[in-house]
């Protein structure tokens, strides 16, 4: 096999007569150098593309393993229920379960142990007396988020009266629109006081004053 060399004394054979790519590049050094540079550039480009793909795959795997479970666990948590203790809640269904303890108190001042909102008042209709007078059951709960006991609980109650006797140590009217709960004594944190009254209509009961024990 004859070797093609470029020199002044010996000319390169016609590449059209010898179509081999190797011989063609050997006969044209500049083209050979450009071709080698192109191959190196192509190799570098492929290497960078492979590195980028590997990086994105690692990021996607890390995100899927670490962050997705955290987001899902956070989404599955229920939001705490806020209870406004200043407005009594009238239940339409008897024996409705009380709301769970409020976890956030937006009206609490910095350093304040308790507020009126830490006392929750609920009431609902119960079976009427034999005489036909409707009855209502009231539940008063201490839901203080700081674990405090609350005393001196007063409710707005209008001209509260009942055809059914109520223990005055549990609930009594002191005057117009002023009723005292638990004889003014502390209601333990998480504690509940309940009583039943009978009247032709229900009274609007709302917390008007409390004292942090």
- Quick check: helix, strand or coil at residue 82? coil
Spell out the residues 6+ positions from residue 111 whose beta carbon is closer than 8 angstroms to its own.
none
Same domain, 149 and 67: no
Of 53, 75, 97, the residue that ends a domain is 75
191: phi then psi, degrees, rounded to nearest 5: -80, 155
Confidence class for position 86, pLDDT limits 50, 70, 90: very low
171-187 average pLDDT score: 96
Q: Compute the chain's Rg from CA coordinates.
A: 43
Alpha helices, DSSP H, located in the chain: 21-27, 29-62, 68-75
What is the spatial distance between Cα 94 and Cα 74, in angstroms, rounded to a whole number? 34
User: Residue 41: pLDDT above 80?
Assistant: no
User: Residue 9: pLDDT above 80?
Assistant: no
Same domain, 146 and 168: yes
Classify residue 8: in a domain, yes or no. Answer: no
What is the spatial distance between Cα 113 and Cα 115, in angstroms, rounded to a whole number? 7
pTM score above 0.75: no
What is the CATH classification number for the domain harbouring 194? Answer: 2.60.40
pLDDT digits (tens, 9 = 90+) for 46-83: 777 777 777 777 776 666 655 545 455 544 444 333 33
Same domain, 34 and 112: no
119-123 average pLDDT score: 97
Contact (Cβ atoms closer than 8 angstroms) between residue 181 and residue 193: yes
Contact (Cβ atoms closer than 8 angstroms) between residue 124 and residue 94: yes
In 31-170, which ranges are E strands?
Answer: 89-90, 119-126, 135-142, 150-156
What is the spatial distance between Cα 60 and Cα 164, in angstroms, rounded to a whole number? 69
pLDDT digits (tens, 9 = 90+) for 123-168: 999 999 999 999 999 999 999 988 899 999 999 999 999 999 999 9
Contact (Cβ atoms closer than 8 angstroms) between residue 208 and residue 172: no
**Paired strand residues for 172:** 180
Same domain, 138 and 165: yes
Determine the pLDDT at residue 91.
41
> What is the strand order of the sheet 150-156 is part of?
171-175, 178-181, 150-156, 206-212
Confidence class for position 89, pLDDT limits 50, 70, 90: very low
Same domain, 95 and 156: yes
3-state helix vs strand vs coil in the chain, percent to 5? 30, 25, 50
How many domains does the structure of the chain reveal? 2
Classify residue 83: in a domain, yes or no. Answer: no
Closest CA to 153 of 139, 144, 140, 136: 140
Greatest mean pLDDT among 87-96, 103-112, 184-193 = 184-193
Determine the pLDDT at residue 27.
57
Residue-range definition of the domain harbouring residue 36: 21-75
Same domain, 152 and 57: no
Q: What would you measure as the largest C-alpha separation in the chain, in angstroms?
A: 135
């Amino acid at each position: 096999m004859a070797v093609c060399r470029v020199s002044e004394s010996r000319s390169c054979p016609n590449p059209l007569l010898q179509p081999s790519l190797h011989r063609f590049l050997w006969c044209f050094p500049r083209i050979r150098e450009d071709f080698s540079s192109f191959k190196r550039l192509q190799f570098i480009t492929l290497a960078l593309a492979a590195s980028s793909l590997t990086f994105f795959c690692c990021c996607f795997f890390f995100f899927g393993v670490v962050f997705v479970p955290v987001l899902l666990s956070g989404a599955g948590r229920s939001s705490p229920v806020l209870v406004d203790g200043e407005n009594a809640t009238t239940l339409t269904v008897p024996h409705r379960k009380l709301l769970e303890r409020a976890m956030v108190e937006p009206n609490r001042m910095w350093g304040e142990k308790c507020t009126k909102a830490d006392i929750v008042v609920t009431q609902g209709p119960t079976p009427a007396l034999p005489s036909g007078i409707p009855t209502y059951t009231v539940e008063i709960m201490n839901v203080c988020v700081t674990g405090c006991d609350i005393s001196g609980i007063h409710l707005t109650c209008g001209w509260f009266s009942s055809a059914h006797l109520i223990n005055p140590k549990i609930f009594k009217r002191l005057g117009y629109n002023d009723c005292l709960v638990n004889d003014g004594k502390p209601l333990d944190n998480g504690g509940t006081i309940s009583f039943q009254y009978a009247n032709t209509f229900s009274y609007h009961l709302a917390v008007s004053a409390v004292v942090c024990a």
